[in-house]
Structure 1
Amino acid sequence: MVRIRLSCAVGLLVLGVTTACQDAEPAKHPLEMNDTSSASSTTSQTHPPDASQEATSIDDPRVAQSSGLARSYLHPGVLYTHNDRSTSAPQIFAIDASGTRAVLTLEAQAVDWEDIASTPDGRLWVADTGDNDGARSSIAVYVVTEPDVLTSSTLATTTYRFTYPDGSHNAEALLVHPTTHRLYLVTKDPVAGTVFVAPSELDPEGVNVLEPVADAPANVTAGDFSPDGSMLVLRNQGRAYFYRGFEDDPVGVTLPKQPQGEAITFEADGAHVLLGSEGPQSQILRLTVPTLPS
């Protein structure tokens, strides 16, 4: 399994969370590649399906293939989601327990949107990174600012284009660190994926070259950083992998069954994650974050 180095978050006033730490040595980014350990070193926990895990559902018929979830840092209780390639509309749906609050249209294309991330500075990051056929010479991540008032509107959009150093990949997981704003993409591969990191300074005019930094589990469909940046999670259809510390092995959790589990995001408390799935009227499930080694 992938080994992970996480930088600590300092002074996240938006969430009222303050954490302090010192690294033994400076790191370029929160993830660092180390020697890969065997899958047997992953601690396993099982969470069977339980009705109490249901948090809400997506009842909007326009969202038939929810492929990503991100919590709002600006509007408590609001989640952002989007469709997969089944729709050509470059739209983000702001939803909560009452239904769809707003539809946000991006000045962008929607070739194959796969994931969405949010950061405490109020930005939303959308990964147009799907490439099942391995035919894309470059991929894109679109960035918009959360509106102060949730009304359906078109948002000014910044486009960042990326390439891999070793050819095309299909990536379905996007993670953006809440304090460094470093961007990560995780490829979806049947045996083992790869974590790629973007340059620390993104160029909206040129093409940004991604760098491989770590191995990842097979068939990853989504990921997220915790609100304070001290933990991350990767998921596939059947399991979630939680990482914490510097070189700790992940804690693997068997997930409740979903039609096609494609999304995951931490809740604001950092103690729970929400699980999304493609399909009409899909349920969003809440899962308690397992206890991780200190």
Structure 2
Amino acid sequence: MLVHNDGGDSLDVYVLDGTCAVVTVHSAAVDPYDPEDMALAVDGTVWLADTGDNNGTRATVALLALHADGSSSVYRLAYPDGPRDVEALLLAPDGTPYLVTKEVLGASQVYRPVSALVEDGTVGLAEVGGVEFVLTGTPGGPVGRAGQLMVTGGAVSPDDRWIALRTYTDAYVWPLTGSDVAGALAGEPRRVSLPEAAQGEAISFTGDSAALVVAGEGLGSDVTVVPLPAEAALSSSAVDADGTGSGLLSGDDGPPPVAAAVAAAVVAGVLVWLGGKLVRRRD
């Protein structure tokens, strides 16, 4: 299982064993600003989205690549319409990165580069879609009901069949055809309520793509395996006018958290990567 810090003075990716003990640290001489998510490419490159911008002050954001040979690269990106706060990276099967904004009112925007990335250069981003999130009534997060609307992480399944985005409280899953991430996000998702967490931000899939793996920010947070029900049993994202969910899973509290050591033992054997946030530098 792979995790990374939310902040720090270097690019560090930690490899954890079945007890969540650190086995190896892969580092690079890069000083990140606010890394928020992580994705693993088919060639073994680990991509980190240095895209956090709570104050809306960054002229550019960056994708940081830690290559399998130990080298690293920095690719800068610029939004067409001003700074955005992003905590979710979706890496399409063809290698195209998509960024999904974190919005307090739930109207997230989706961006992708307008051309091939340029090492140590800046490439523009284009808005290619949007995703609307609504209140679900699922408890959790540090900001009350608004946490049900704010995207904090994303993942593409290892079999390339599913996309997942999460808020502080819920996960949303879309079917993916080919590498058309924007097209997939234009469809209707299925919602899975997540275990209550103080600041749930990380999401990934197990190696067989049959379950989600989620975690929160902060030391001592649980790593939880959340089984995906059969496709027909996944809950609808619709909610009632009072903000309570009307989907099949909306009435429960989600699966109980499992101890980090147990969850890690499950996922480590299937080479799951997890874009975790363990230490936060900027609020």
* TM norm structure 1: 0.67
Map 1:6-85 → 2, pairs under 5 A: 79-85=1-7
2:110 alignment partner in structure 1:
195
1:192-218 CA-partner distances (Å, limit 9, x unpaired): 111111245211142111111121233
**Pairs aligned (count):** 207
Q: Which residue of 2 aligns with 1:175?
A: 90
5+ long unaligned stretches in structure 1:
1-78, 148-154
SS of structure 2 residue aligned to 1:127: strand
Cα distance in 2 between the residues matched to 1:194 and 1:97: 36
Residue of 254, 263, 268 corresponding to 2:207: 268
Residues in 1 aligned to 2:11 and 2:117: alpha-carbon distance in whole angstroms: 22
Q: How does 1:1-294 map to 2 (within 5 A)?
A: 79-85=1-7, 87-98=8-19, 99-146=21-68, 155-177=70-92, 179-191=93-105, 192-199=107-114, 201-216=116-131, 217=133, 218-244=149-175, 248-292=187-231
Matched with 1:41 is none
Q: CA deviation at 1:289?
A: 1.9
Deviations 1:200-256 (A, max 9, x none): 521114211111112123310000011122210000101100001556410011111
1:163-184 per-position Cα deviation (integer Å, ceiling 9, x unaligned)? 100000000011112x300101
Q: Report the Cα distance in structure 2 between the residues aligned to 1:119 and 1:164, rounded to whole angstroms.
A: 23
Deviations 1:130-181 (A, max 9, x none): 000101000111111236xxxxxxx31111000100000000011112x300
Q: Which has the higher contact order (CA 8 A, sep 6+)?
A: 1
* Letter in structure 2 aligned against 1:131: D
SS in 2 for 1:287: strand
Are residues 263 and 81 of structure 1, via their aligned partners in 2, closer, same or farther at CA, if it must alter by over 3 Å?
same
Corresponding residue for residue 252 of structure 2: none
Structure 1 segments, 4+ long, off by >4 Å, are: none
* Alpha-carbon RMSD: 1.8
Q: SS of 2:119's equivalent?
A: coil
For the Cα contact (< 8 Å) 1:244–1:292, is it kept in 2?
Answer: no
CA distance in 2: counterparts of 1:126 and 1:274, whole angstroms: 18
The separation in 2 between residues aligned to 1:88 and 1:104, in whole angstroms, is: 14
* CA displacement, residues 65-120 of structure 1 (integer Å, 9 cap, x when unaligned): xxxxxxxxxxxxxx1111113x3332111112131111111221121110111022
Q: 2:118, 2:112 → 1: CA distance?
A: 14
Give unmatched runs, 5+ long, in structure 2.
134-148, 177-183, 233-283
Which residue of 2 is the match for residue 75 of structure 1? Answer: none
* Match of residue 277 from structure 2: none
Q: Is the 8 A contact 1:118 1:125 kept in 2?
A: yes
- Confirm or deny: 8 A CA contact 1:165 1:209 kept in the other structure: yes
Query: What secondary structure is seen at the aligned counterpart in 1 of 2:84?
Result: coil
| Offset, 1:290 | 3.2
Q: Is the 8 A contact 1:116 1:124 kept in 2?
A: yes
SS at match of 1:269: coil
Amino acid at match of 1:96: D
Q: So what's the TM-score if we normalise by structure 2?
A: 0.69
Q: Distance in 1 between matches of 2:157 and 2:230?
A: 14
Give the SS at the match of 2:13.
strand
SS of the aligned residue for 1:189 comes to coil
Structure number with the higher helix fraction is 2
Which amino acid letter does the alignment assign opposite residue 153 of structure 2? A
Change (3 A) 1:90 1:205: closer
1:200–1:182 Cα change, 3 Å: farther
Q: Distance in 2 between matches of 1:171 and 1:214?
A: 15
The percentage of aligned residue pairs carrying the same residue is: 33
